[in-house]
Structure 1
Amino acid sequence: MKKSLLFFLLLGISINAFSQKEKQSKPNVIFIMADDMGYGDPQCYNSDSKIPTPNMNRLASEGMMFMNAHTASSVCTPSRYSFITGKYAWRSNLKREVLWSTYNDPLIDKSEVTIADMLKDQGYATAVVGKWHLGINFLKNQGFGYVQAKDWHEQGLKGTRDVNFMNPSYGGPNDLGFDYFFGSGGGHNMEPHVFIENRYTYGLPTIWREKGQPSKEGISASEVHEGWMVEGWDDTEIGPTLTEKSLQFIEENTALGKPFFLYLPTVAPHRPCTPADFAKGKSQAGERGDMVYEFDWSVGQIMEKLEELGIAENTILIVSSDNGATPTSDDGKNYGHNSCGDLKGFKASLNEGGHRVPFIVRWPSEVKPSTQNNGMISLMDIYATLSEVLGTEDPNGDGISFLSSLKNERAPAKRTEMVHHTYSGGFALTDGDWKIIPHRSNKDGSWDFELYNIKEDPNEKNNLSSKMPEKIKELMDKLNENISS
């Protein structure tokens, strides 16, 4: 009887161990997204960078740098939409600009299958820790109606006062496949100035913060909008808090033996540039540079935790940015630092500086260290790539898997063309070696064009439009076909 009991006990332990191994065979996935970090900010992309980025440098030496990676838009809300859905944001209701507060109606409908839905179906624990910026519904104080957000930024004015923070919110990450959410609804410069944990604010905002008011004396309040703020709010503590919450999520799910997906969209280095105390003065590029240093610190904290837990080998770690950089720090100076490197344009531009971004992937079990890939990819391709990694159904969006490029840096890129989109609602197209940017005159409705051989001229110095009218027609036909499909 005792032998029989021992046999079944050992059998149970073996089955459980096998089950845990099966669960852990799926790679963990972490995507750390900077907010306005440019191609020239990390030292591994720009040897002349005035910002120390030792952790991204190390990540690049241990993984693959993509040299031709693009965001789906050159501003934040549409870029985030495209990452989560695998689709161009102009297919949604957002045809131009960004959302201007947390309270906007959710841009992603519950019926859409998101990257978090897909991974959750595959047994993953899913979390977003950081800046959401895709709309969350909060109730008004009276009745059952949702707060109506301002439809334009109005220079940071027209903050919303009639908000019920006691009741749960709806339409945010918890309704779109994420098990856990901790972060800001619209970014640290937008209302309300409080963390949200799942469906509730992390404390009750009872203080009205004025436009341009710093959260404490002596720090920047550039681009800060008026709105409700929780007592004790400190902009300099946002980055460290988001990092700590991310580390907790990693630890908890590793202990459970469950694969996890962590999306960490930081607020750094977006304005207001309010680096944590440990990051102040660490760069030679002003407070914005210090914020990039802080972002790099967060990357390092995540890397250390993966190694401490022994799970780095089976974790896909991706670091990138939501769009290109701003040219200066909050004080209007660039300190001799080229935030977008030698690329033309900055955030909100259709030129390369607006949407070509750093993109580093480390996956030790599959990706060779110290490799570079020159093929074109997009942040919205991450969804399709992870679908292929896990053998799930193709998401049927605009994304194209780059798994073959991850496994072989010399493999030809599957993506050969991409539509670029920006704040004003304008479009551009890269098709193979060629890129076209159309400009319409407000006066007479006529068109001017920028035309570049982007392979030979990635810095867009030589506009060939006057010499190649047939190429312009060919590319404009393709662009119009794409945006009308």
Structure 2
Amino acid sequence: MKSEYFSYYESEFLNQFAGSNKHFTSLICIVLLVLMSSSAWAASKPNVVFILADDLGWSDTTLFGTTNFYKTPNIQRLAERGMTFTRAYSSSPLCSPTRASILTGLSPARTGITAPNCHLPQIVLQATTSPTGPVNHKATFPNPVTRLDKKYYTLAEMFKDNGYATGHFGKWHLGSEPYSPLEHGFDVDVPHHPGPGPAGSYVAPWKFKDFDHDPLIPDEHLEDRMAKEAIAFMEQHTDEPFFLNYWMFSVHAPFDAKQDLIDQYKKNVDPTDSQRSPTYAAMIESMDDAVGTLLDTLDRLKIADHTIIFFASDNGGNMYNEVDGTSATSNAPLRGGKATMYEGGVRGPAIIVYPKHIQADSRSEEIIQSCDYYPTLLEMLSIAPQQGQNFDGVSIVPALKGKHLDREAIFTYFPHSPPIPEWLPAAVSVHSEDWKLIRIFFDGENGNHRYKLYDLKEDIGEQNNLALVKPEKVKELDLVIDEFLKDTQAVLPLPNPRFDASKYQPKLEGKSSLKGGARTPAKKPAKFLDKPVAGWQPDGDCSLALREGKLIVTSSGTDPYFSYALQVPVEKSDFEITLTFSSDSSREGQFYWREAGKPGGFHRDRSIRFDVNHDGQPHTYHLKWSTQSPLTAIRLDPSKSNGKITITSIKVTKSTGEAIYESDF
């Protein structure tokens, strides 16, 4: 590492050598001034605070004038201290790949972490191709990495090696021990939780393994507690440089918040506004309060002027989960949201603060991406990368100085296809100046790729696909994509030999409807369903098959489920379902039922969550419920991840013992 200033010994040597030569001394002074000016960013090891929000969309703050409902005064206060980026992108539309890119400076295409599956029990350190895929997809999906490999020299390890105290607070989702923050360069990890979101809820009591709420605050909010833990870390290390990695749980599901805040926002709901969930608005406010708590602490400790702050989101806003009877949020005027390749899935708020070095209350229209943050911090601190260490990101210091970034393009590699609104098959995209090209693998005619080309300067909502109008631009940008995939040695989708054209319907281009000045939440796309098996209809990330008298459930994602419609509704009663199955998947199960005359079909108010043992051995589960109207259908969600579930038997009985359904596999 080379400091911005000459070391004591270098200075003494120059003083002695130049003592009798005034001209040489003058020259040395000039050289020193130049060197000090060019590296003034790194003055005596400034502290670094990295705040990463979870699922915070581009329109979820007041930064861009896109919301009339949410309140984010502290994020606005942060923006007034530094530079806001209007075109900041996550490296992926889902969380774990982006988080890995921040810590390594590498694209998900290179690390192989392309899906948010780092909480799964299987340890996979090398991505591999998949020879087959779901029958309704033309391309296969690669098998992604499930842990952040310890071979990478992480951002935290860099800070630790350069004399910084390092602390991680909040969500991780890059692997449990031995791949936790403690094995990746952090001295402290609170609450040391490997899961994809909060354990149970945001409002205490929680369900973290070794992290309880304050007994004096029975309804303590998780983000308030995380901010307190971060404050304690800063107070402990005020006299030494520190790297505080505050990766918020907010505003990821589950959707709950302080009741008094929810009640306040209920009074301000505009039913014509696409952002109208009071629970989500309350979650936004608690997240913003935590940002304010950190800023207040930096001011109180009188270290704000000596602290670099990064604020960003790991992906776009969640516009498909239901909260308060509506979608969680809207990313309008952007199209799509979390888990999509459209702007709403990858474009989010970003602010960088460094008092006296970055102009306060400034903005930049330069394109930046989450893999840029590591090399940027190295340049800001005048720290050289390790020998042989390379990055897919670039330093954005020129942009922080108000200059243009010299870069050809940024890339998003997402070779997966969650069943969500604004659905797309496996794809990769490139942003180059105002142009964006999405390549959808093998989804065109005769096994060729399909393309979407947008001019974001004229069409920020990605409503007009120009691929057929500008074939030369498609060809130009597609070659750039080829170079990127080759350079990163990305594990690619393959043509799917199981593809069945009768079960496929390509997503049609269409303009989103406008209402109340913003695009209304998108509806779910048409499903591409397999035929029922033994009367059970597969849906979501699920396929069914019968084998040796058992129902085999294969989950290819995070939302497998299947349902059975009763031929004749059964009058209201108390019921019990007995399930026997084995599983090598993960996470909790959920059971739903449908009642005649009840709106919403399979609704969360008519469901039961239950713990599932995913050890590969058969287990029996008994679930009881009551109906207020005739029972018409049942649905089983046996897990929330990839894997195979083998069901031996399913039996549904009334309280009288009368069987109304018994499996005959």
TM-score, normalized by length of structure 2?
0.56
TM superposition outliers: structure 1 runs of 4+ over 6 Å: 190-193, 231-236
Counterpart residue number, 1:433:
434
Other-structure match for 2:587: none
Residue 402 of structure 1 contacts residue 414 of structure 1 at CA under 8 Å; is this kept in 2?
Answer: no
Match of 1:464 among 463, 466, 488: 466
Q: Which one of the candidate residues 449, 452, 470 is aligned to 1:450?
A: 452
* Partner residue, 1:477: 479
5+ residue gaps in structure 1?
1-22, 138-169, 204-214, 216-230
Contact 1:36 1:269 in 2 (8 A): yes
Alpha-carbon RMSD: 2.8
Q: 2:105 is matched with which residue: 69, 86, 103?
A: 86
Cα 1:48–1:108 shift into 2, 3 Å: closer
Quickly say closer, same or farther: Cα 1:108–1:126, change in 2 above 3 A. same
Distance in 2 (alpha carbons) for counterparts of 1:332 and 1:480: 44
Shift of 1:234: 8.7
Question: Displacement, 1:191?
Answer: 9.0
**Number of residue pairs the alignment of both structures matches:** 395
Choose 365-374 or 414-423, whichever is displaced more. Answer: 414-423
- Which structure would you say has the larger RCO, counting Cα contacts within 8 Å and 6 or more residues apart? 1
Q: 2 CA distance for matches of 1:278 and 1:121?
A: 45
Alignment pair present for 1:386 and 2:377: yes
Report how far residue 437 of structure 1 moved: 0.9
Mapped to 2, the partners of 1:234 and 1:66 lie a distance apart of 39
Q: Residue 118 of structure 1 aligns with which residue?
A: 158
- C-alpha deviations, 1:213-237, integer Å up to 9, x for none? xx9xxxxxxxxxxxxxxx9999963
Q: Which one is further off, 126-135 or 339-348? A: 339-348
Please report how far the alpha carbon of residue 104 of structure 1 lies from its aligned counterpart in structure 2 after TM superposition. 5.1
Q: What is the DSSP-based 3-state SS (H/G/I as helix, E as strand, rest coil) of the residue aligned with 1:304?
A: helix
Aligned to 1:347: 338
CA distance in 1, matches of 2:377, 2:60: 27
Q: Say if 2:199 and 2:208, in contact at 8 Å, map to a contact too.
A: no
Residue identity matched to 1:399: G
Deviation at 1:461, TM superposition (A): 2.4
Identify the residue that residue 226 of structure 2 maps to in structure 1: 242
Distance 1:24 1:393 in 2: 15
Overall identity of the aligned pairs, in %: 32
* Residues in 2 aligned to 1:232 and 1:112: alpha-carbon distance in whole angstroms: 42
CA contact (8 A) 1:273 1:329 kept: no
Q: 1:275 aligns with which of 235, 254, 257?
A: 257
Task: Output one character per residue of 1:367-393: Cα deviation in whole Å (capped at 9) or x when no partner.
Answer: 111111000011111100110012122
* d(CA) in 2 for partners of 1:484, 1:191: 42
Query: Who is 1:266 aligned against?
Result: 248
Partner of 1:99: 117
User: Shift of the alpha carbon at 1:195?
Assistant: 4.0
The answer for unaligned runs of 5 or more in structure 2 is 1-41, 124-145, 270-276, 418-425, 488-665
Between 360-369 and 317-326, the greater mean CA deviation after superposition: 360-369
8 Å Cα contact 1:433/1:454 also seen in 2: yes
Q: What is the distance in 1 between the residues matched to 2:101 and 2:295?
A: 26
Contact 1:37–1:357 under 8 Å retained in 2: yes
1:295 Cα deviation from its structure 2 partner: 0.8
Per the alignment, residue 173 of structure 1 pairs with: 181
Residue in structure 1 matched with residue 349 of structure 2 by the alignment? 358
CA deviation map 1:346-400 (0-9, x unaligned): 1111111100110012211211111110000111111001100121223411110
> Do the aligned partners of residues 73 and 187 (structure 1) sit closer, same or farther apart at CA in structure 2, a change above 3 Å counting?
same
Matching residue of 2:47: 28
Distance in 1 (CA, whole Å) between partners of 2:316 and 2:157 is: 28
**How much does 1:421 deviate?**
2.5
Distance 1:444 1:232, change over 3 A: farther
Pick closer, same or farther for the CA change 1:104–1:115 going to 2, 3 Å.
farther
User: Whose radius of gyration is greater, 1 or 2?
Assistant: 2
Question: In structure 2, what is the Cα distance between the partners aligned to 1:475 and 1:362?
Answer: 33
Kindly report which structure 2 residues correspond to 1:50-449, keeping only aligned pairs within 5 A, or say none.
50-94=69-113, 96-99=114-117, 101=119, 103=121, 105=123, 107-137=147-177, 170-183=178-191, 184-188=193-197, 194-195=207-208, 201-202=210-211, 237-254=221-238, 257-277=239-259, 279-283=261-265, 284=269, 285-327=277-319, 330-331=322-323, 333-334=325-326, 339-394=330-385, 395-408=389-402, 411-422=403-414, 423-424=416-417, 425-439=426-440, 440-441=442-443, 445-449=447-451
After superposition, the C-alpha distances for 1:397-416 in whole angstroms (9 at most, x for unaligned) are 111011121122xx002333
Q: What's the CA shift for 1:477?
A: 1.4
Residues 450-459 or 98-107, more deviating: 98-107
Contact in 1 for aligned 2:50/2:244 (Cα 8 Å): yes
Aligned residue for 2:288, secondary structure, equals: helix
**Residue 329 of structure 1: how far off its partner (Å):** 6.1
How far, CA to CA, are the matches of 2:326 and 2:94 in structure 1?
20
Distance 1:372 1:419, change over 3 A: same
Question: Hey, what's the Cα distance between the residues in 1 that align with 2:188 and 2:181?
Answer: 8
Q: Distance in 2 between matches of 1:190 and 1:131?
A: 10
Report what 1:11 is aligned to.
none
Q: Decide which structure has greater strand share.
A: 2
Q: Find the aligned partners of 1:443 and 1:186 in 2 and give their Cα distance.
A: 40
User: In structure 1, what is the Cα distance between the partners aligned to 2:464 and 2:79?
Assistant: 31
Deviation by residue 1:184-211 (Cα, 9 ceiling, x = unmatched): 2123356997547xxxx447xxxxxxxx
Distance 1:250 1:277, change over 3 A: farther
| Alignment check: 8 A CA contact 2:280 2:329 kept | no
Look up the equivalent residue of 1:74 and give its one-letter code: P
CA deviations over 1:234-277 (Å, ceiling 9, x no partner)? 996322221111111111101xx111111111111111012235
360 and 247 in structure 1: CA distance in 2 versus 1, 3 angstrom threshold: same
Answer whether contact 2:85 2:363 (CA < 8 A) is retained: yes
Q: 1:267 to 1:102 in 2, by over 3 A?
A: farther
